[in-house]
Amino acid sequence: MANKKELITDIGFFLITGPGLIGLFFLRQTLPNYVRYTGLIVGIIWTLIGVSFLFDNLIRRKQQAYMPLKSWLDDIKQKMERFSERKDIKLFLKKYIRGGYPTDTVKPVICPSCGADLFEAYYEDGNGTAAKCCTCGHKHYLLDSEEHLSNEKIKFSCPKCNELPVHLWVGLSHRNTGDIKWVYVIFRCPKCHTLDCMLEWEINYGPTDEIEKSLDKFRSSEAAREEK
């Protein structure tokens, strides 16, 4: 259910900044033209944003909790940042791999419990990676790591600035059969913005459908919120 105060505030904001500014263009002929046209453009933009916002909440989310305007805008911003970051990761992997196994799939690691994307990472060469969410504390294993990691795993820190929490991405290279051949775990440091490969390993068995499906739990923060 929507919080009534939040709903009224958000709708009021859009009425003022959307149709309200458009109305000034027609009703205030005495205003300078640059003011009227600026108001018209801003009003149209906010009206379109408002329609998208209300559609998203009242249609797509009618069975879910109401998402206030600020949270909705933050969610849009986060998705745009992740889209941009995905391109950076793909470009990095292309340069990093060179003569190795090219990636055909790249996925961000997002906590399925709370939707956060900052983790304390643990690894062991050749055996995989575990990620502990810095927000809710849940621990997650990437692909088949849980079967192979020992108690001697190492806590990862950024090699450039020693920052512990990092953002993680998984790059996969598949065989012609569709099974995973090679795994790359990429990190980006939130402090110094270093982007590099934390660990890579080969998967020499098949089928790998089930372990690849385990990556689906690292879905978007939007999906994680929708379940709450």
- Show Cβ contacts of residue 89 under 8 Å, excluding neighbours closer than 6 positions: 106, 169, 171, 186, 195
Cβ-based neighbour number of residue 182 at 10 Å: 19
How far is 55 from 32, CA to CA, in rounded Å?
Answer: 34
What pLDDT score was predicted for residue 225? 42
Q: Domain boundary residue among 35, 67, 99?
A: 67
How far is 164 from 191, CA to CA, in rounded Å?
Answer: 10
Query: Residue 74: inside a domain, yes or no?
Result: no
* Domain shared by 207 and 114, yes or no: yes
* Domain shared by 35 and 128, yes or no: no
* Domain shared by 99 and 42, yes or no: no
- Its pTM stands at 0.64
Cβ-based neighbour number of residue 208 at 10 Å: 20
Q: Domain boundary residue among 67, 89, 120?
A: 67
- Residues of the chain with pLDDT below 50 are 1-2, 220-228
What pLDDT score was predicted for residue 148? 80
* Domain shared by 86 and 62, yes or no: no
In the 8-state DSSP scheme, what is residue 206? S
What pLDDT score was predicted for residue 221? 43
Query: Residue 72: inside a domain, yes or no?
Result: no
Query: Residue 76: inside a domain, yes or no?
Result: no
* Percent of the chain surpassing pLDDT 70: 87
What pLDDT score was predicted for residue 211? 87
Rounded to 5°, the CA angle 154-148-134 comes to 45
What pLDDT score was predicted for residue 224? 44
Q: Domain boundary residue among 37, 67, 97?
A: 67
Query: Residue 121: inside a domain, yes or no?
Result: yes
- pLDDT per residue as tens digits for the range 147-199: 888 777 789 999 999 988 999 999 999 999 999 999 999 999 999 989 999 99
* Domain shared by 209 and 183, yes or no: yes
* Domain shared by 111 and 144, yes or no: yes
Q: How many domains does the chain have?
A: 2
What pLDDT score was predicted for residue 63? 58
Q: Which domain holds residue 100?
A: 81-226
* Domain shared by 209 and 147, yes or no: yes
* Domain shared by 113 and 203, yes or no: yes
Query: Residue 73: inside a domain, yes or no?
Result: no
What pLDDT score was predicted for residue 165? 92
* Domain shared by 175 and 120, yes or no: yes
Backbone angles phi, psi at 128, to 5 degrees: 120, -170
* Domain shared by 27 and 95, yes or no: no
